[in-house]
Amino acid sequence: MIKNAAELLESFVLAERTKVKLIDMPHMPTLGSAYEAIANAGIEKEFVLPPELDLRVVSGFIDGIPNQIDGMLVCGDGQQYGLTAQYIYPIEQVLCVLEVKKTLGKADLTDGIAHLAAVQKLFLKKFIARLDADEDFDFAAARSSYEKVTGQAAPRSAKELDALPHSDRLFFVTLSRQLFAPVTVLLGFEGYATERGLREAILDVVESHAGRGSIATPELLPSLITAGQFSVVKCTGRPYLVFRSNGEWVLLASATRNVARTLLEFLWTKISHFCDVRMPFGADLDQENLRELLVARGTIKDDLPAFEVRGQSYSTKQLKRPAITAWAPSKLTAAAVTVAEMLGAHGGELELDDSFAQYIAKKHSSELDGPVAELIGTSGFSKRGSLLQLVSGHALIASFPDGTGYVDFSGERLRIWCEEHGLDPYYMTIL
């Protein structure tokens, strides 16, 4: 049974090394060496998972899929496969699936994506059946991701969902189902010497498998693909989300940061949702420097809703950048701070009517659309008709005597940042 964060990652390293013994690798596995590097700096070894969660990492099979799984994070007991150390688990108990490849060339990349797509296909089949049986699900986290990307309020009922344009409806449904899907990881040791090489190979797989029966649709693509020090993550908001000003969905993005840390982010996020437990994510004062790879937009094709995807290609020189970036809060004009504070005074929802527009115009000589767009641009506010509202349950405004300020949706992070920069603002919490 998994007891803490360090043991969780150690278990995946063990699964990785077990597979490596069969493929005669002279070097230490990528995940193992990456784990040791961050373990020396500490990965919350003192954080203990509640024992009743009964999490474990095993190898074996998922009921309904013939291929053996190199490693999977599961909850509870499974059926032992004969007298072996392999186990069979139903998809409903699987949180994460790990597929290991020695050399992630084009053939193994395609093969790995296909194997993990089978896991997602089985999940979708079972999940749709559970929905049809009127099983209740909480889609709050999917609504949050939808609102951050689109700036528009997410549907709270089947009627509101049906009223959305086809493209937005498909996006929301996809985010909702991915919220409950297993994390699927394709772990490659070697094969691509550059980030660009990995990116272009993935684009080739996506483009060559377009159409009906594809293994590379937005829902079927792996959550994480790694090759050496490079990784490609799927951005569903659990945990990664990349924003574009036009509201398009960045489906895949690449990074060069420690792959073990990236995997841990996915695992913690899945555990926190699956088990309804708080994980020690910390203040997140640094962030992976992600570069968009695949962008998706919902459309209608052959009278059916479908995603239209396009790749984003960059040269090796364009991809050269720091592995991480320092986080900074969103700076707000005085008008935007006033709107945010008024929203707080009204309990997290603000009617953007003519009288309020006149108030902002008189106080700040500004049209109301400007500060509202500023707030929506922080990805923490959205519109529902003429209402402006918070995406998450709370926000922290840090304001200054000149009326300007900053906003963030993790109060601890904003306070730490202000202290580090020698700032002493007035704080207002919006609930």
Asked if 184 and 120 count as a contact pair (C-beta separation under 8 A), the reply is yes
Asked if 377 and 340 count as a contact pair (C-beta separation under 8 A), the reply is no
Residue 255's H or E segment, with its range, is: strand 249-255
| 379 φψ region: left (φ > 0), alpha (ψ -120 to 50), beta (else) | left
Asked if 31 and 13 count as a contact pair (C-beta separation under 8 A), the reply is yes
- Token code pair at residue 213: 């029966």
Task: Report the C-alpha gap between 59 and 72 in whole angstroms.
Answer: 6
Is the pTM higher than 0.85?
Answer: yes
Q: What pLDDT does 41 receive?
A: 40
Q: What pLDDT does 128 receive?
A: 96
Task: Report the C-alpha gap between 250 and 223 in whole angstroms.
Answer: 13
Q: What pLDDT does 282 receive?
A: 67
Task: Report the C-alpha gap between 311 and 218 in whole angstroms.
Answer: 13
Q: How many CB atoms lie within 10 A of CB 412?
A: 13
Q: What pLDDT does 247 receive?
A: 64
Domains in the chain: ranges and CATH: 5-326 (no CATH), 330-430 (1.10.10)
Nearest to 288 by CA among 233, 337, 244: 233
Q: What pLDDT does 51 receive?
A: 72
Report the SS3 class of residue 127.
helix
Where the chain has pLDDT below 50, the residues are: 25-30, 32-46
Strands 55-62 and 87-89: parallel
Task: Report the C-alpha gap between 141 and 238 in whole angstroms.
Answer: 8
Q: What pLDDT does 279 receive?
A: 75
Q: What pLDDT does 405 receive?
A: 96
Read off φ and ψ for residue 173, nearest 5 degrees.
-60, -40
Task: Please report, for residues 150, 193, 293, the alpha-carbon distance to residue 246 in angstroms, rounded to integers and kept in the order given.
Answer: 8, 33, 16
Q: How many CB atoms lie within 10 A of CB 106?
A: 12
DSSP 154: P
Q: What pLDDT does 138 receive?
A: 94
pLDDT tens by residue, 360-399? 999 999 999 999 999 999 889 999 999 999 987 789 999 9
Q: What residues contact 211, with CB distance under 8 A and at least 6 apart?
A: none
pLDDT tens by residue, 105-131? 899 999 999 999 999 999 999 999 999
